[in-house]
Structure 1
Amino acid sequence: MELEEDWLVESLRLYQDFHAFDLSGATRVLEWIGDKGVLVAGYDSLKKNEILHLTLPLRLSVKENQGLFPERDFKVRHGGFSDRPVFDLKHMPDTRLLVTSGLPGCSLQVWQVAEDSDVIRAVSTIAVPGSEGSLWPRVSVFPSAAPAVLHGARLSDLKAVDLESQKTTYASGVGDGEALSSLQALDADTFAFCCTSGRLGLVDTRQKWAPSETAGPGGGRWCAEVRAEAPGPGPSIAGLRSDGRLCLLDPRDLCRPVSARQCPVSTPSPDPELLRVTWAPGLDCCLAVSGFDGTVQVHNVTSWDGTQGRADPVFTHRGHVFLYGDGAGTAPLVTTHTWHPRKPRTLLSAASDASLHVWDWVDLRNPR
């Protein structure tokens, strides 16, 4: 109890803003729709799962330091129900369409956010041949005039599909059965993939399959993210391993990591499917990692070089630990996080106890 009280007092100094919300069920997806709304969806395999469009608290726009406000002030704007758990959800840019994926992985579901009501309704499915066991298709969407979705559980079944006609516009056409951990469309013609082994690749869909790639370093399960609109040459790809190993790579030479550090985690991730590394869209060289425990770590990689060492975070969000019920039992695991697209130091994070936090952290080394 003392630790919780200490954290509550310290939070007045650590956060520019903090809001907490309890969902009806845990989510592993946080997808922005504009800069004031976020989409969440449940992943319970034993019941129907809500898909919700939430609007953020209005007071996030207030400039003054407000301290800690664990209030239920998110608002539900639209909602619907999925018969399947939702492991991935993407919003199609400039449309009211969503695409979800989960188990069983035999199809993707397409949804529409109603314009004249508060309903999110299923409108179609996209068949995914060759789905198997516990594998489910990773999903990304291309920012193009004609909505297209990229999906695949393995390299061999990677496809881009036109959402309207459901015609395949690109396929890897290879027999490589390596399992994917993530897909990321970078622009209308290129995308990045990361395999669970750590194998990374950059693909141009205007050419036959000939990715610029690196062999997976192995030694655990990996996820990765490419920094969008990197300011110049240098590391813009971050790879995260299930034991906390964090590698930075330059897309011009994927074979040699620019630097590698060890995040301070007490144990490997208890569920590597929930590993997440994300670049801050509004800050130079900041990224966040989660999926090891009930925290989200923020790192500034500006001073990293090729030497090996410990990656000390500039900030650690511990709200999911200290605001967990009465503190009894196992602390929740952070299931996902995302950066706000416009507010540089604002993040959303969700945890296995169905908590949803939005927080604006203070860099104590360089306070605003």
Structure 2
Amino acid sequence: MAEESAEDWLVESLRLYNDLHVFELQEPTRVIEWIGEKSVCVAGYENSRRNEILQLLLPQKLRVKEKQGLCPERDFKVERGGFSDCPVYSLRHVPDTSLLVTSGPPDSSLQVWQLAAEDTDVIKSVSTIPTGNDSKKPWAKIATTLARTPSVLHGSRVNNVQITEIESKKNIYTAASSISDEVSGLEFLDCNTWLACCVKGQLCLADVRQPQSPLGNTSIPSALSGEQWCMGVSSGLQGSDVNAPTIVRLSSGGQLTLTDLRNIPKPLKSARCKVSAASQSAELLCVSWAPVLDGCLAVSGFNGTVHIYDTRSWPVSGGEAESVFSHKGHIFSGMDNGSDFPLVTTHAWHPWKPRMLLSAASDGSLHVWDWAELIPRPDGTIVII
């Protein structure tokens, strides 16, 4: 990779990408959260200063569903902004509302924000949801739902996961569990069930209508028990129904495991990413399913690249997975700035453009890219789709 220059990559990008947009943020972000289908929220995560929260409108070409010719607007536009006194490690939009919830160190409290009305451009802090006086709790992982009322699922360990109504701050559920493992991710599966992935790799599934402890999964091989894990939840495209989505877990050593919630103890498939070394910042590991591209997922957090994998081609016996595409653009933007190679901090799929993603890195770069599907012909030429 070091032998490839930035100039070589730029030339190659004309062939490898249908679209490629490179932007620079004032400060790096580790969150990219969609607000509808036309804008995203990003936020700073520095400990030593106030951090901006920005709502960015995508360039015109990336907002329209039909093909466009030349578009005058080719940059993000800041729609709204605000400032957080805490680093923003996680940010979630409450569906169908103008509310945001954020979390980050130094404790597990949550901040609630209001996206301003159309006549102002301020993202306003409206409340804080405290979670006790234990300052030693890690920062809380969060997930949001509208359900019956805007609510947030939050917690730093399985035994302190709870659901809180955002406006009233009323606690409506607390996990009855003896599992004290730290949580790396939380997700609502529907208005009544939630899923947690522990840092050690276990999955915990719970139904808020039932008081018993969450179900723990101990299917992670003991050889991988020293690694840290995160998860991504599909929307059912991989052959599962809506009530039993496919879960992908990613370890800091590059192991990928697919699980159907209807049979948690028996993984569907597993494979290993092509990574030169384990992730040095496991909190930045990110794995996510493509929303409209069946069987594909994206992986980042090991270096300055984002890798795309097609799980349908994985052998049942496991082994090393071959990526169908690798985005290296953040590496070369770092080279241009004369800095060390940046680390990709997060990525997110476009909600309806099949092969388009947004990715951000530790140098403040923000890329939007749509990779071209290359189909080889029998005569050796390549067709770009």
TM-score range, shorter chain: over 0.9
The aligned counterpart of 2:28 is 26
1:216: how far off?
5.9
Q: SS at the partner of 1:10?
A: helix
**Is 2:204 the partner of 1:197?**
no
**Is 2:19 the partner of 1:9?**
no
Matched letter for residue 139 of structure 2: W
The aligned counterpart of 1:228 is 235
The aligned counterpart of 1:101 is 103
The aligned counterpart of 2:67 is 63
Measured in 2, the distance between the counterparts of 1:231 and 1:259 equals 12
**Contact 1:22–1:72 (8 Å) recurs in 2:** no
Q: SS at the partner of 1:182?
A: strand
Q: Sequence identity of aligned pairs in percent?
A: 49
The normalised TM-score by structure 1 is 0.94
The normalised TM-score by structure 2 is 0.90
**Contact 1:213–1:255 (8 Å) recurs in 2:** no
Measured in 1, the distance between the counterparts of 2:292 and 2:229 equals 25
Matched letter for residue 7 of structure 1: W
* Aligned mate of 2:217, from 193, 208, 214: 214
Bigger Cα displacement from structure 2, 48-57 vs 97-106: 97-106
* Aligned mate of 1:252, from 252, 262, 265: 262
Cα deviation per residue 1:243-268 (whole Å; 9 max; x = unaligned)?
A: 11111112111112121111011111
Measured in 2, the distance between the counterparts of 1:65 and 1:311 equals 37
* Aligned mate of 1:51, from 53, 60, 64: 53
1:330: how far off?
1.8
Matched letter for residue 279 of structure 2: S
Q: SS at the partner of 2:334?
A: coil
**Is 2:253 the partner of 1:243?**
yes
**Is 2:80 the partner of 1:78?**
yes
Runs of 4+ in structure 1 displaced over 6 angstroms?
Answer: none
State the superposition RMSD in angstroms: 2.1
Measured in 2, the distance between the counterparts of 1:150 and 1:312 equals 35
Instruction: Give the 3 Å change call, closer, same or farther, for CA 286–367 of structure 1 in structure 2.
Output: farther
Q: How many residues align?
A: 365
**Is 2:353 the partner of 1:343?**
yes
Cα deviation per residue 1:203-259 (whole Å; 9 max; x = unaligned)?
A: 211111343441162230000112123453397110100011111112111112121
Bigger Cα displacement from structure 2, 262-271 vs 212-221: 212-221
| Structure 2: gaps spanning 5 or more residues | 376-382
**Contact 1:16–1:65 (8 Å) recurs in 2:** no
The aligned counterpart of 2:298 is 288
Q: SS at the partner of 2:336?
A: coil
Instruction: Give the 3 Å change call, closer, same or farther, for CA 302–175 of structure 1 in structure 2.
Output: same
Matched letter for residue 228 of structure 2: R
Measured in 1, the distance between the counterparts of 2:351 and 2:214 equals 29
Instruction: Give the 3 Å change call, closer, same or farther, for CA 230–191 of structure 1 in structure 2.
Output: farther
Matched letter for residue 95 of structure 2: P
